[in-house]
Amino acid sequence: MVTATEFDQLLDLLRDFIRREVMPAEAGIDESDEIPARLIAQAKEMGLYGYALPSEYGGLGLSVEQQVRVTIELGYTSPAFRSLFGTNNGIAGQVLVLAGTDQQRKQWLPRLASGEVVASFALTEPDAGSDPSRLTTSATPEDGGWIIDGLKRYITNAPAADVFMVFARTDPQAPPGKGIGVFVVPAGASGVAVAAKDHKMGQAGAWTADVAFTSVRVPADALVGEAAQAGYATAMRSLAHGRLIIAALCVGVAARLVDESVSYAKERSQGGHVIGEYQLVQAMLADSQTEYLAARALVLDAAVSRSTAAPGISAASPSRGCTATYGCSGSTKAPARSSNSSSPGRCSGSGLGSAD
Ligand SMILES: Cc1cc2nc3c(=O)[nH]c(=O)nc-3n(C[C@H](O)[C@H](O)[C@H](O)COP(=O)(O)OP(=O)(O)OC[C@H]3O[C@@H](n4cnc5c(N)ncnc54)[C@H](O)[C@@H]3O)c2cc1C
């Protein structure tokens, strides 16, 4: 549990770190498709790999509202930076937080929180994307364990992962969404193969890849929560948390877009005037600021609801839709710089993506 004063100090530290260390590295990240090792080390030192994980397992134990406020700050720079530790805190780590046994939590969460271990969430398949309930990866029981077979697609952080949370069908006869378990599978297990990283349209520095599981043998205690039928519900609960976090990330992106637009409008001259003096430009900037503030208010409201209400997706979904429009589509109405390849607004893909 972090006190309000400690949290304010953490936000100040993070804001300063992003502006001093990460923003100057954005162009390099875009060109090299890689986060510099020194930023990875600093992120570990600051506790960023475990800010959403419980303090009893070495995380910072932030509340959902605090996680959202941290994520808004992280959205101010390259989204790839947050993606580094997004799966540990989010979709993968939350599987263990929500459904893991005590033993599984003790074994993995402290190492996720320190960044010693990178975890990935492996749900999507070539023919199971928006509707993952029809996934076909199988987990077949054998004496003392399971054999996993299948192909997963677009798995964030797979090239760096030490462990995968793999969703697999344990009952081939069950209807979609039923008969699915989730398994903790070490990346080094025999039969696990990570393909080359995908070439994406945006989010350079954030990696996704296919992961093949071919006759991968795992012990019985690899089944998360010991319930072979409950994996799909765990996936949906983890994704509900992830949607809120991605919405918050987009709010940070929108804040950056507005700030960049305002400074450009102040420096660019046409017709003998800086363009910010023109009423039409001022109106576009005002609209962008209004949309940003509306999205921020909606996400913070959803975070408070999620902290206090019964678990569900209703709070997160509208905020994700709204901020996906304002933040990630780059839809700011304000005047854009003609070329800015490292623009943090260039998000690609779906809300699940890198939630990571
Ligand atoms: C950057 C990135 C990172 C990702 N990271 C992960 C990860 O870590 N782990 C993981 O498991 N997955 C991950 N994913 C996969 C992601 O969850 C899927 O891409 C997403 O679920 C959409 O699936 P799809 O790409 O197969 O699109 P499809 O499901 O094929 O959808 C294609 C189009 O059809 C539309 N559509 C589909 N169904 C409907 C419907 N019922 N009504 C109306 N329109 C519909 C979609 O909106 C979309 O426009 C990632 C994806 C990206 C891009």
Q: Given a cut of 80, is residue 207 above it in pLDDT?
A: yes
Q: How many CB atoms lie within 10 A of CB 313?
A: 16
Chain segment 137-191, per-residue pLDDT in tens: 999 999 999 999 999 999 999 999 999 999 999 999 999 999 999 999 999 999 9
Whole-angstrom distance, CA of residue 18 vs CA of residue 202: 20
Closest Cα to atom 9 of ligand 1? 155
- Domain 234-328 sits in which CATH superfamily? Butyryl-CoA Dehydrogenase, subunit A, domain 3 (1.20.140.10)
**Rounded alpha-carbon distances, angstroms, from residue 14 to 22, 48, 155:** 10, 10, 27
Q: Given a cut of 50, is residue 343 above it in pLDDT?
A: no
CATH class of the domain defined by 119-229: mainly beta
Q: Given a cut of 50, is residue 350 above it in pLDDT?
A: no
Closest Cα to atom 46 of ligand 1? 130
Q: Given a cut of 90, is residue 340 above it in pLDDT?
A: no
The atom of ligand 1 lying closest to the CA of 206 is 1
Q: Given a cut of 50, is residue 53 above it in pLDDT?
A: yes
Provide the pLDDT for residue 306. Answer: 85
Q: Where are the domains of the chain?
A: 4-114, 119-229, 234-328
Chain segment 251-295, per-residue pLDDT in tens: 999 999 999 999 999 999 999 999 999 999 999 999 999 999 999
CB 191 within 8 A of CB 216: yes
The atom of ligand 1 lying closest to the CA of 198 is 1
Give me the CATH topology for the region 4-114.
Answer: Butyryl-Coa Dehydrogenase, subunit A; domain 1 (1.10.540)
Distance in Å from the first CA to the final CA of the chain = 22
Chain segment 65-118, per-residue pLDDT in tens: 999 999 999 999 999 999 999 999 999 999 999 999 999 999 999 999 999 999
- pLDDT band (50, 70, 90) for residue 349: very low
Provide the pLDDT for residue 83. Answer: 98
The residue written with tokens 């462990």 in the block is 163
Provide the pLDDT for residue 317. Answer: 53
Closest Cα to atom 45 of ligand 1? 130
The atom of ligand 1 lying closest to the CA of 92 is 8
Burial class (CB in 10 A: 0-12, 13-18, 19+), 280: exposed
Whole-angstrom distance, CA of residue 195 vs CA of residue 316: 32
Closest Cα to atom 53 of ligand 1? 349
CB 189 within 8 A of CB 204: no
Average pLDDT value for residue range 35-47: 98
Closest Cα to atom 12 of ligand 1? 124
pTM assigned to the model:
0.90
Give φ, ψ of 193 to 5 degrees: -130, 120
The residue written with tokens 């003998």 in the block is 272
Ligand 1 contact via 328 beta carbon (within 6 Å): no
Whole-angstrom distance, CA of residue 140 vs CA of residue 204: 37
Q: How many CB atoms lie within 10 A of CB 195?
A: 14
Ligand 1 contact via 354 beta carbon (within 6 Å): yes
Q: Bridge partners of 270?
A: 273
Of 95, 121, 124, which is best to mutate to test ligand 1, by the most ligand atoms within 8 angstroms of its C-beta? 124
Chain segment 326-338, per-residue pLDDT in tens: 444 444 466 655 5
Q: Given a cut of 90, is residue 198 above it in pLDDT?
A: yes
Chain segment 304-334, per-residue pLDDT in tens: 998 776 544 445 555 555 555 544 444 446 6
